[in-house]
Structure formats: C-alpha cells, structure tokens
Structure 1
Amino acid sequence: MLSSLSLRVRIFLFFCLLGFGGLASVGVALWFGYSRAIETTVANGFTFAAILAAFLILGLTVSIWLLFDENVAKPIERLAAQMRTRAHAGVDGALDMQAARYLGDLAPAASAVAQQLTDTALTTAQAIASETARLTAEKARLTALLTEIPVATILVGPSGQIVLYDGQGAEVLAQLGVPRLNAQITDYFDPSSLGAAVSKLGRTGMDVTFTAQSQDATQSFDTKLKPMDGGGYLMVIDSQTLDISPDAARPLVYDFDLLEQRKGAAEMDILDRPLRSLCYSVFDTETTGLLPHKDDVVQLGAVRVLNGRIIEGEHINQLVDPGRPIPPGSTKVHKVTDAMVRGQPDIRKVGKRFHDFSRDAVIVAHNAPFDMAFLHRQAKDTGVTWDHPILDTVLLSAVLFGASERHTLDALCERLNVTIPTELRHTALGDARATAEVLVKMLPMLEARGLITFGQVIEETRRHGRLLEDLN
C-alpha cells in the first residue's frame, strides 16, 4: 500500500505526522500538567507540562527523522550513487529498485534513464569494437616486430619524460631502476652526457650518436638520438652488446598523451593539479598478522595508473621473507607459506624497490594507514622517506556513496562491477589490481561531483577520516 504512494504524498504524510504528533504531545502534556496542578500548584503543573511536551516533541522529531532518513534520504543518496556509477564509471546492470521502493516514480524514472544510457553506450561500443580489435592486432604485430629488432627503443617527450619503451627498452631501464612511464629519463641516465647530446640534437636537428652513461656511472650504452616532430626524441640503444634475455621481452608500453603534457605541469603544487594529470602507485600487502607494530610483510603487489588507465607491464609482484614463521591462520587467508618466502628479499629491499616504483606518484591503497604502517616501520633501515601524497579508496568510497554504505574492497568491487578472480583474492597483486580498477572507475565520478583537483578530493575525504579510525 505505502509503496504505491507518490513521493510528494509520502513527504506530505511525514509532515502530517509531525504536526498531529506535536499537537497530541502538547495535549498529553497539558493533561498531565493539569492533573499535577490539582495535586500541587498551578506553576508546578505548567512547568511539568512544558518539560513533558518538550521531551515528547523531541522524541517525535527524532523518530520521524529516522523514518525519513531510512525511507527517503538514504534511498535517494543510494539511487544517486548508482546512477553516477552508470553514467561515469561504465557500470552495467539494473538499479536496486527494492532500496528505492518508497520513492514513488523516481526510481522507475531513474531506471529508464539508466537503461537508455546503457543502450546508447552499447550501440556505440558495438560500432567501435571491430576497429578496436583491428588496432589491437596491429599493436601486437608492432610489438613482435620491435622485439625482434636488436635495439632498445625509448621515446622521450619534450619535457624529458618517458613516453614509450619496447621490450628491450624495458630491460635496459630495469638494469638501471624500475621502468616507469612518465619518469624523467635522467632518473636512469647521467644528465651530463645525455644533456650534451640533447643540446647538440637541438642545435643541428640531426641524429646524434654518443655513449650514454648510467646515472651511477657503472654502465655505458652505445646510443643514437633521433629528433621527433613537435619536440622530444627517440633514444635507440644497441642491445646486442647488453645482457638481455631474448625470452624476457615485455609488451610495448606507451602513452602518447604524455607528448601533450604541458611543460612545468609537474612543478605545480600537487593540491592544485587535476586528478587526471597525476600518476598513481596502487599497492597492497599480505602480512603475518594484523598488528603493524609487530607483524611483518610476506608479499607486496603494486600497479601504476597514469592518465586514468592502468599501465600494463608496470607492476610489482614480490614475495617477502619476513624473517619469522608465518602463522597458519595467516597462510590460510593469503596462501603464502614459509617455503614460498624462503630465499626471497626482505622488506627493506622490497620497500626500496617500491619506493623507486612510486617516485613522483600518489600512493593509493584500500585502508592505506594499515599498509603504510608496515613500510613506515622499516623506513629507517630501508633508507627512504615515505613522504608521498596518499589516497585511500575507503574514503573515496565514502565520498561517492555515503558513509552509511559498506566500504570493504569486495563491496566496492561489486558496486563498480570489478571482478577479482577467486584465485587472486587476498594476493597482494590481485588486490592491488582490483583497487586500481576501482580507482580508475572512481576518478570520473569524482570529477562529475566537481572534485577536479587533488586538493579538493583530499579536503572532501577528511570529512570521513573517522572511518579509517574505526577500521584500524
């Protein structure tokens, strides 16, 4: 019966209940006050009536507010969040009509709009599917071709950032550090020798051949720089003289949008930078227990997100020797055994590698204080400072879906249609990948809420900091 009423009628009934309930409360209070006045004094009776009326009206107001919040406010918030995920995160599926059953025609109307958006998106997707398949096949052929050519190729943008590297280029970079798109090329090669060659390239506009030195001056590479239209250059390294396994080639990794990156953008205050312009290092850890002050990491996984997409080929999936037995209860959760971590590097080495992997990036995790606590504990021995900006997907979920919703990783993945393969759940890389996919879907949703810059998002998440306190 109630579900058939319109939203306007339903709200009208709330106010009627408030009005009639208030009148009834005053009437009851006056009756008891009159009875008390007969037994004592008139002043005492009126005072008692006023106090009783105030408490009754207050109780009535709180009760009606709870009803309104449960049957109108929360469903509207939930419905808005579901529509936002479909409009901006590409999530398919029907709206939860049961949760919005008391909102009258609003829920069916919202469902119709969502279905229309889905149908339109499906038509568009079908139109470009064949073209995408063709481009994917061409990319695979190009990757195979570049892998067979005995040179390492690295494309460097006008601002000195890495825009592309092939399989051999990845191997060269891996010998000097952790391969990363958007990293400065001088993170890997000596700025003086490279800078002189780049200057000559700019003056002559001709190819420049020189010997590139690694940043630590322990390695040298026969290198040719080729100028590119619009700025930047192609760095070609003779890989025949390098110790590169032919079976170790990785996919072609690139992001040509980096060529359009404005010079000096990276020097902006990070709080003023748009969310899309930032690089994110998304990670997760598996541990011997749930106490960061005494337990240890047994596995660390991380992926990188750049320009709103996950960079395939750039990840960490590393077992860690905790230097102590792993409790059976913990192994039951993450499946990491003592035999698996025997002979693996300790958290100091793995932490240093992850620190390099996350250079110039925002670190992201689900319940970040928990995972970061393990890294901070070892920071002194590792010789690094964890001063990266941090984003927590628990808080981002609260911003987008409301604090009253569930904010576990499983709930968030279900809400955003992100699938974690069963065999990868509670593995560091599997959970890191899922968190990264969730982040990618939430970025456009945040922008749609008017949260464009990193500073705006941080300011909004601070309102929900209590959630992390409760989790930890």
Structure 2
Amino acid sequence: MLSKLSLRFRIFLFFCLLGLGGLAAVGVALWFGYGRALETTVENGFTFATILAAFLILGLTVGIWLLFDENVAKPIERLASEMRTRAHAGVDGDLDMQAARYLGDLAPAASAVTRQLNETALSTAQAVAAETARLNAEKARLTALLTEIPVATILVNPTGQIVLYDGQAAEVLAQLGVARLNAAITEYFDPKSLDAAVGKLRKTGLDVSFTAQSHDGAQSFETKLKPMEGGGYLMIIDSQTLDISPDAARPLVYDFDLLERPAGAAEADILDRPLRSLCFSVFDTETTGLLPHKDDIVQLGAVRVLNGRIIEGEVINQLVDPGRPIPPASTKVHKVSDAMVRGQPDIRVVARRFHDFSRDAVIVAHNAPFDMAFLHRQAKETGVTWDHPILDTVLLSAVLFGASETHTLDALCDRLNVTIPTELRHTALGDAKATAEVLVKMLPMLEARGLTTFGQVIEETRRHGRLLEDLN
C-alpha cells in the first residue's frame, strides 16, 4: 500500500505524524498533569506535564527518525552507491528495487538510467574486447619471439624507472632483487657505471656497450644501451652466459604509461599524489590463528597494482614455515598443513622479500591492521621497518557504500561483481587477488566522488576507523 504512494506524499506523512504525534503527546501530558495537580499542587501538575511531554516528544522523534532512516535515508544511500558501482566500476545488473520500494519513482528512474548506461557500456566493451584479443595475440607473438633471442630486455623511461622487462630480464633482475615495474634501474645495477653509460648515450645518441655491475658489485653483465625516442633507453643484456632454463616461461611485463610519467612525480609528497599515479602492493596472509601477538604466518600472497591495473607476472605466492605445528582448526580453513610448510622459508626470508616487493608502494589489505600486526611483531627479527603508507579496503568500502553496509571481502566481491574461485577462497594469493580487483574497481568510484589524491582518501577513511576496531 505505502509503496504506491509518491515520495513527496510519503515525506509529508512523516511531518504529519511528527506534528500530530507532538500534539497528542502534549495532550496526554496535560491530562496526566491535570490529575496530578488535583491531587497535589498546580505547580507540581505543570512540572509533571512538562517532563512527561518532553519524554513523549523525544520518544516520538526518535521513532520517526528510525522510520525515516530505514525507509528513506538508507535506501537513498544504498541506491546512490549502487549507481556509482554501475557507472564507474563496470558492474552490471539491475538495482535492488525492493530496498528502494518506498522511494517513489526515484528507484525506477535510476534503474532506467542504469540500464541504458549498461547497454551502452556493453556495446563499447564488446568492441574493446575484440581489440584486446587482437593485442593479446600480438603480445603472445612478441613474447614468443623474445624467448628465442638470447638477450634480456629492459625498457627504462627518462627518469630511470623500469617500464618493460621480458622473462629473461625478470630472471636477471630476480638475481639482484625483486623484479618489478616502476622500480629504479639503479636498485639492481651499480649507479656509477650505469650513469656513465647513460651519459654517453645521451651525449652521442648512439648505442653504448659496457659492462654493467650489479648493485652489490658481485656480478657483471655484458650490456648494450639503445636510445629511445623521448629520452628513455632499451637495456639489452647478453643472457647466453646466464643460467636460464630454455623451457622456462617468458612472460612480458610492461606498462607503457610509465613512459609519460613526468620527472619528479615520484618525489612529490604522497598525500598530494593522484591515486592513479600510485603503486599498490596488495597482500593477504594465512596464519596459525587469529591472535597476532602469539600466532604466526603460514602463507603470504601479494600482487601489484600500477596505473589502475593489476600487473600480471608480479606476484608472491609463498608458503611459510612457522616453526610450530599448525592447529587442525586453522588448516581446515586455509588448507595449509604441516607437511606443506615443511622445508619452506621462514618469515624472516619471506618478510624481507615482501618488503622489497612493496618498496615505494602503498600497502593494501582487507582489514590491514590484522595482517600488518603479524609483520610488525616480526620486524625486529626480520630486520625491516614497515613504514609504508597503508590503505584498507574495509574503510574504502565504508566511504563508498556507507558505514551501515556489510564490509566483508565476500560482501565487497558480491557488490562489485568480483568472483573468487571456490578453491582460492581463504588462500593468501586468492584473497590478495580478489582484494586487488576490488581496489581497481574502487579507484574510479573514489575519483568520481572528488577523492582524487591519496591524502583526500586517507582523510575520508579516518572517519570510519571505528569499523576496524570492531573487526579486531
């Protein structure tokens, strides 16, 4: 019956209820006050009537507010968040009309706009998918070609950051550190010899051959630098003398947007940097239990997000020997057993690797305080300091969808059409990938709300810090 009334008339009824209820409350209070005045004094009767009227009006106000909040305010907030997910996160499907049933024509109108947007987006997505398939085929052919050439190839932008590396280069970089895009090339190679070769390259504009020394001076590589248009260069390392399996996979990892990154962008205050310019290290852990002060990590998974997309090929999926038996109740959840972690590296090795993997990145996790507590507890033993900026997808969910919504990882994935394969749920890498996909869909939604810099997002998430306290 009420669902057929217009939104304006329904709000009018709220005010009518408030006005009539207030009059009724005053009338009831005066009635009882009159009775009290007859039994005692007039002053006592008026005092009693005033107190009773105040409590009745207060109770009426709270009751009407609860009705308004449940039937108007919350549905509008939910409808707005659902529209944003469809407009900016690529989520399709109909809006929840049942939740907005008391909003008059607002919900059907929003649904019609959303449906039209989805149809337009679908036709665009089909064209993009066809072009993407063609580009993937070309990438596969290029990767296969590079596999047959006995050189390791690294593309470096004008500011000295890695833009592309092939599989052979990945193995070279892995001998010197953790291979990753956006990293400074001088993290792997000695700056002195490299800078001299780059200086000569820029002065002459011709290829430069030299012997590149590893950053620690323990290894050397016969290397050629080739100038690229725009000021960057291609670093080609003769890999014939390297111990690289001919059957190993040769993924090509790249992000050509890094070629356009202006000089000094990475040095700007992180609070002022645009979200799109940041690198994110998204991780998750599986543990022996739920108490960070006494339990230990048994698995760590991580992926990297750069320029708003997940970087395929830059992944950590590592079992960790906790040095103690894993409780059967924990194994039942994450499927990691004592036999699986036997012979695996301990947290000191894995934490240092993850620390390098996350260098110059914002660390992201779902309920980050829980996972970070395990790493902080082991910080002294591992010899690394976790001073990275942190972003929590629980708090981002509260910013985008409202604090009253459910903010579990499953709820977020369902809301944003992210699928976690059943066999990967409650595995460190599976949950890390799901969190990364959620983050990628949230970034344009945050920007659409005017939260374009990291500082603005952090300031907004601080309003919802209580959620994490309740979770932990």
Once the two structures are TM-superposed, the CA of residue 91 in structure 1 deviates from its matched residue by 0.3
Task: Report what 1:94 is aligned to.
Answer: 94
- What whole-Å deviation, never above 9, does each CA across 1:137-174 have from its counterpart, x for those lacking one? 11110111011110000000000000000111111111
Residue 124 (structure 2) pairs with residue 127 (structure 1): no
Alignment of 1:328-367 (within 5 A): 328-367=328-367
Deviation at 1:132, TM superposition (A): 2.0
Match of 2:256 in 1: 256
Partner of 1:11: 11
Quote the Cα distance in structure 2 between the aligned partners of 1:414 and 1:194.
49
User: How does 1:73-472 map onto structure 2 within 5 Å?
Assistant: 73-472=73-472
Residue 131 of structure 1 and its aligned partner are, at CA, apart by 2.1
Q: 3-state SS of the aligned residue for 1:316?
A: strand
Q: Is the 8 A contact 1:250 1:313 kept in 2?
A: no
- In the alignment, the residues of structure 1 paired with residue 105 and residue 94 of structure 2 have an alpha-carbon distance, to the nearest angstrom, of 16
3-state SS, counterpart of residue 332 of structure 1: helix
Q: Distance in 2 between matches of 1:250 and 1:434?
A: 25
Structure 1 residue 412: Cα displacement: 0.3
* 1:400-439 deviation digits (Å, cap 9, x = unpaired): 0000000000000000000000000000000000000000
Please list every run of at least 4 consecutive aligned residues from structure 1 whose deviation after the TM superposition is greater than 4 angstroms.
Answer: none
What is the letter of the counterpart of residue 98 of structure 1? Q
Q: Distance in 1 between matches of 2:13 and 2:127?
A: 49
> Considering only aligned residues, what root-mean-square deviation do their CA atoms show, in Å?
0.6
| Cα distance in structure 2, aligned partners of 1:17 and 1:469 | 38
For 1:187 and 1:290, the matched residues in 2 are separated by: 36
Q: Which secondary structure does the structure 1 equivalent of 2:301 belong to?
A: strand
Separation of aligned partners in 1, 2:224 and 2:88: 44
Q: 1:312-338 CA distances to partner (integer Å, 9 max, x unpaired)?
A: 000000000000000000000000000
Distance 1:131 1:450 in 2: 31
Deviations 1:48-97 (A, max 9, x none): 11110000000000000000000000000000000000000000111011
Most deviating of 357-366 and 32-41: 32-41
Moved more, 302-311 or 247-256: 247-256
- Write the distance in 2 (CA, Å) between the matches of 1:130 and 1:62: 56
Partner deviation per Cα, 1:337-356 (whole Å, 9 max, x = no partner): 00000000000110000000
For 2:129 and 2:291, locate their aligned partners in 1 and report how far apart those are by CA, in whole Å: 48
Q: Secondary structure at the match of 2:247?
A: helix
- The 2-side partners of 1:125 and 1:382 are apart by 46
How far apart in 1 are the matches of 2:101 and 2:200? 71
**Cα distance, 1:251 vs structure 2:** 1.2
- Percent identity of equivalent pairs: 88
* Amino acid paired to 1:66: L
State the Cα deviation string for residues 184-207 of structure 1 (Å, max 9, x = none): 000100100101101111111110
User: Following TM superposition, by how much is the alpha carbon of 1:129 offset from its aligned partner in structure 2, in angstroms?
Assistant: 2.8
* 1:17-36 matched pairs, under 5 angstroms: 17-36=17-36
Partner Cα distance (1:431, 1:394) in 2 = 14
Q: Does the aligned pair in 2 maintain the 1:331–1:337 contact within 8 Å?
A: yes
The structural deviation recorded for 1:311 is: 0.1
1:126 maps to a residue whose letter is Q
Check the 8 A contact 1:171/1:249 in 2, yes or no: no
Instruction: Report the Cα offset of residue 246 of structure 1.
Output: 1.7
SS at 2:146's partner residue? helix
1:250, 1:281 → 2: CA distance? 23
Give 1:41's aligned residue.
Answer: 41
Q: Is the 8 A contact 1:303 1:436 kept in 2?
A: yes
Amino acid corresponding to residue 337 of structure 2 in structure 1: T
How is 1:46-57 mapped onto 2 (pairs within 5 angstroms)? 46-57=46-57
Q: Return the offset for 1:135.
A: 1.2
Q: What residue ranges of structure 1 are gaps of 5+ in the alignment? A: none
1:240 aligned counterpart, secondary structure: coil
2-side partners of 1:299 and 1:129: how far apart? 35
Q: Deviations over 1:372-392 (max 9, x none)?
A: 000001111111100000000
Distance 2:362 2:246 in 1: 34
CA distance in 2, matches of 1:431, 1:129: 26
1:124 shift after superposition = 1.3
Measure, in 2, the Cα distance between the counterparts of 1:56 and 1:147: 80
| SS state at 1:235 partner | strand
Counterpart-to-counterpart distance in 2, 1:451 and 1:120: 26
Q: Offset of 1:130 from its aligned partner? A: 2.3
Residue 136 of structure 1 deviates from its aligned partner by: 1.2
| Partners of 1:177 and 1:128 in 2: CA distance | 36
1-structure distance, mates of 2:6, 2:259: 54
Give the alignment's TM-score, normalised by structure 1.
0.99
Q: Which has the higher mean CA deviation after the structures are superposed, 124-133 or 44-53?
A: 124-133
Q: Which amino acid aligns with 1:27?
A: G
* Per-residue deviation, 1:127: 2.6
What code does the residue aligned with 1:423 have? Answer: E
Which residue in the other structure is 2:60 paired with?
A: 60
Amino acid at match of 1:216: D
